[in-house]
A and B are shown apart, each in its own frame.
Chain A
Amino acid sequence: MPPIVKIEDLHKIYDSGEVPVHAVRGVSLDIHQKEFLALMGASGSGKSTLMNTLGCLDRPTRGRYLLDGVDVAQLDKNELADIRNQKLGFVFQGFNLLSRTTALENVELPMLYGKRKMSSKQMRERAMHCLEIVGLAKRFDHMPNQLSGGQQQRVAIARALVNEPQVLLADEPTGNLDSKTSIEVMGVFQKLNEQGITIVMVTHELDVAHYCKRNLILRDGVIVRDELVQDRSIAEIELAKLKEAETAAKLLAAGSPAH
């Protein structure tokens, strides 16, 4: 089975400043279907640039990027937009939901720009289905500011899923979340991955990366480590542990009369 993402000797040079910045210096990478990959690295390591390239928001200066067999480097702006719409799903660190727009309408958004003509009823059904997957169907009519951070990120995940993408790209999806909500969101990702969705995420938290199947570490624009995760964290188990610890803490608090 051919890899869904195939990158060969990819370079990205930013020419805008006084000195050209060589952000990515020759990355080759194959990502197969059903992989769950974490892209790690310090800031300036080129992981964001690589992510933007993977997300077809930016074109490589040199090298090849085949997404599902299509050479992305050759496409124009509108074709890239269509690829983003049809083959990729985005989850951002800052959620990037449209404010004062309901969860349901946020999820419907990618379908508005899709090529397939759908009735508004069909769109609504699809969006509701995706909200069900992330467990937020009951809150479909809430505005983003009425939802917690974790819930907003789950809406964003539903939005990323709505056009049935080949690859789900997540840029620091847990960056704005506390540890418990982070685990919940990672749980959603693990569940989706089990259903066969390929996920690539950027993170700088080791424990979050531990929920993935494969970790890549970038430094100065090249991959310095590429390994499969041993003894992977499972969100359900971690959540159960967390709950146990909380209960224990509560019992302890109730047991001490000084409080």
Chain B
Amino acid sequence: MRFFTTLKMALRALRRNTMRSILTALGIIIGVAAVIAMVSIGNGAKAQVQAAIASMGDNLVLVYPGNQSTGGGVRGGAGGATTLLPADAEAVVSNYQESTTPEDNSVIGVSPYVQGRAQVLANGLNWPTQVYGVGPDFPSIRSWRVSDGVFFDDPEVTASAKVAVVGKTIIDNLFPDLEPSQVIGQSIRLFSQGGGGNGANNYGGGGTGGGTPFRIIGVMAPKGFTSNQDQDDVIYIPYTSHMKRISRRTNLSQIYIQAKDEDSVAKVKADVSDLLTQRHSGNTDFTVQDQADITALRTASTDAMTYLLGAIAGVSLVVGGIGIMNIMLVSVTERTREIGIRLALGAHGKDVLTQFLIEAIALSSLGGLVGVALGIGGSIALGNYKGWPVEPSTAAMVIAVGFSAAVGVFFGYYPARKAAQLDPIEALRYE
């Protein structure tokens, strides 16, 4: 018998019991929708992490204190160990400056990095923010432009100058009436709130009003949000000033190093690792990572979550398949007489088998298609509502629909074979 005729017959049989067909397919619909939604959201989260890491800059090599190579992920801030010192960063700088020609040099930028939260006061307003202590290379390493004014230079770092470069959000909150260009020269006062190092408060550190006064010399170009974080809610000051005047600590949170190109990243990693091991008298009490390492670490948990939820969704697909098998068995019993008529009129067992199998496959595939639509719609809706990025995967859709069709074959075969093996005389007599 022709495939198209069989398909038409199957669809008609499904339409005959619309409610029952919908309820039966619901298991598959929910399973597939769950898979698609999970993968979409998982992919979105992963893409977001990757974008965030890519936005850190190109060809970065990062050094963290403490040995973190044994899994567990990178802890933001890495404040746990205190083994990384400004001298280490200087050693890296001098190491590459000793190279004779710029062509030989695989490192094009180094910046120490100290992190801490602070309450910032200005203009009668105050605002909690992140204050980072970095070096002059930092904007070029992060490929981040200064839109107004200038970034601090080496002499200012050496002098632990009280100068600051602020993000757009800081201006919006402290100088709501001023344009970015107008805040240059304005003074802000920083109160440390800890967040690393000894975290001591710094009241009365300088000036009469408490806190440490810093002069704004530049404004960073607005960057917007990444990973749900406002990238412009930052203040950069020289790392020396941060350590001396704000956080009162002696160790660094990180060292940022930029390699010349992608090919030299591995060499820089190895060089820095060797240099620091030597400096730390053989202890690898630090971790050197490039962006690929960080991406892998940060997406590992997302991946694990996606697989786990995918497995749960897969179980619901199997449950949906059992539902289909159940209804197909009922359907075969209900339609025993119809099967008898078909067999008496010359249908082969194979024809009946095909008919019921196609019915099961149609049921599960339609369920799969509806599930894909629901999954995409649902994940987009959830993404909009929660502000999560969503990235539907074509591969996941194809696999989900294919898998649901396979569920139809697997769970439809037994009832269909039961139908095909009926004895026509018995089936015709069935009431």
Q: Interface segment, A66-74, A90-98, A202-210? A: A90-98
* A89, closest chain B residue (CB): B345
Residue of B nearest to A86 (CB): B346
By beta carbon, the residue of chain A nearest B2 is A112
Given that A57-B425, A92-B428, A112-B5 are known contacts, is A84 also in contact with B349, CB under 8 Å in the complex? Answer: no
Taking a contact as CB atoms under 8 Å apart, the answer to whether A52 and B425 are in contact is: yes
| A114 in contact (CB, < 8 A) | yes
**How far is it, in angstroms, between the C-alpha of A82 and the C-alpha of B350 when the chains are bound?**
13
Asked, given contacts A96-B428, A112-B5, whether A78 binds B344 with beta carbons under 8 Å apart, the answer is no
Does A221 count as interface, using CB distance less than 8 angstroms? no
Q: How far is the CB of A67 from chain B (nearest CB, A)?
A: 14
- How far apart are the CA atoms of A193 and B72 in the complex, in Å? 89
Residue of A57, A98, A100, A120 touching B344 (CB-CB under 8 A): A57
A153 within 8 A of B: no
A99 to chain B, nearest CB (A): 8
Q: Are B343 and A81 in contact (CB under 8 A)?
A: yes
What per-residue 1/0 map shows which CB atoms of B407-425 lie under 8 Å from chain A? 0000000000000000011
Given A96-B341, A98-B338, A98-B341, A113 contacting B428 (CB threshold 8 A)? no
In the complex, A112→B9 CA distance in Å?
11
The chain B residue sitting closest to A82, CB to CB, is: B346
A110 at the binding interface (Cβ < 8 Å): yes
Q: Which of A35-94 contact B (CB under 8 A)?
A: 52, 55, 57-58, 77-78, 81-82, 84-86, 90, 92
* Min distance, Cβ A150 to any Cβ of chain B, angstroms: 19
Q: A217 on the interface (CB 8 Å rule)? A: no
Q: Which residues of A contact B304 (CB under 8 A)?
A: none
Closest CB of chain B to A84's CB: distance in Å?
A: 5
B351 at the interface (CB under 8 A from A): yes
Band of interface residues on A: 20 to 34
Please, which residue of chain B has its CB at the minimum distance from the CB of A117?
A: B2
A109 within 8 A of B: yes
Asked whether, in the complex, the Cβ of B345 is within 8 Å of the Cβ of A109, the reply is yes
Range class of the B interface residue count: 20 to 34
Please report the C-alpha to C-alpha distance between residue A112 and residue B347 in the assembled complex, in whole angstroms. Answer: 8
Are A113 and B425 in touch, CB under 8 angstroms?
no
**Which chain A residues border B348 with CB–CB below 8 Å?**
77-78, 81, 113
A113, B345: Cβ atoms closer than 8 Å: yes
Known: A57-B425, A96-B428, A113-B1. A90 touches B345 (CB 8 A): yes
CB <8 Å contact, A113 and B351: yes
Distance of A87 Cα from B343 Cα, bound (Å)? 15
Is B342 at the interface (CB under 8 A from chain A)?
yes
Interface residue B142 (Cβ < 8 Å from any Cβ of A): no
**0/1 interface trace, chain B 198-212, chain A, CB 8 Å (1 if under):** 000000000000000
Closest Cβ neighbor of A52 among chain B residues: B425
Does A77 contact B349, Cβ atoms closer than 8 Å? yes
Decide if B428 touches A78 in the complex (CB within 8 Å).
no
Query: How far, in whole Å, are A52 and B340 apart by their CA atoms in the complex?
Result: 13
Q: B1-39: which residues lie under 8 A (CB-CB) from chain A? A: 1-2, 5, 16
- Please tell me if the beta carbons of A84 and B342 are within 8 angstroms of each other in the complex: no
Q: How far is the CA of A174 from the CA of B428 in the complex (A)?
A: 17
Q: Is the CB of B425 within 8 A of A84?
A: no
Q: Report chain B residues within 8 Å CB of A113.
A: 1, 342, 345-348, 351
Residue in A closest to B338 when the chains form the complex, CB atoms: A98
- Residue contact B425 to A90, C-beta cutoff 8 Å: no
B342 CB contacts on chain A under 8 angstroms: 109, 113
Whether A84 contacts B5 in the complex (CB less than 8 A), given A77-B349, A100-B16, comes out as no
The CA-CA distance from A163 to B338 in the complex, in Å, is: 19
B-contacting residues, A101-136, CB 8 Å = 109-110, 112-114, 120
Whether A96 touches B337, Cβ cut-off 8 Å, given contacts A78-B349, A85-B346, is yes
Are B347 and A81 touching (Cβ within 8 A)? yes
Contacting residues, chain A, for B425 (C-beta < 8 A): 52, 57-58
Q: How far is the CA of A55 from the CA of B343 in the complex (A)?
A: 12
User: Which residues of A are found within 8 Å of B346, using beta-carbon distances?
Assistant: 81-82, 84-86, 110, 113-114, 163
Residue numbers in B under 8 Å from A85 (CB-CB): 345-346
Cross-interface CB contact of B1 among A112, A159, A163, cutoff 8 Å:
A112
Contacts of A110 in B (CB 8 A): 345-346
A163 CB contacts on chain B under 8 angstroms: 346
CB distance from A85 to the nearest CB of B (A): 2
Q: Which chain B residues (328-384) contact chain A, with CB distance < 8 Å?
A: 337-338, 340-351
B19 → chain A, closest Cβ, in Å? 15
Contact flags (1/0) for B211-249 with A, using CB distance below 8 Å? 000000000000000000000000000000000000000
Query: A100: shortest Cβ distance to chain B, in Å?
Result: 6
Give the distance to chain A from B409, nearest Cβ to Cβ, in Å. 23
Question: What are 12 A-B pairs with beta-carbon distances under 8 A?
Answer: A52-B425, A77-B348, A78-B348, A78-B349, A85-B345, A96-B344, A98-B338, A98-B341, A109-B341, A112-B2, A159-B345, A163-B346
Q: Which 10 A-B pairs have the closest CB atoms?
A: A85-B346, A113-B346, A113-B347, A110-B345, A84-B346, A78-B348, A96-B341, A81-B346, A57-B425, A81-B348
Chain B: residues with CB nearer than 8 A to chain A?
1-2, 5, 16, 337-338, 340-351, 424-425, 428
List the interface of chain A (C-beta within 8 A of B): 52, 55, 57-58, 77-78, 81-82, 84-86, 90, 92, 96-100, 109-110, 112-114, 120, 159, 163
- Supply 12 further A-B pairs (C-beta < 8 A) apart from A85-B346, A113-B1: A57-B425, A77-B349, A78-B350, A81-B346, A81-B347, A81-B348, A82-B346, A84-B345, A85-B345, A97-B341, A109-B345, A112-B2
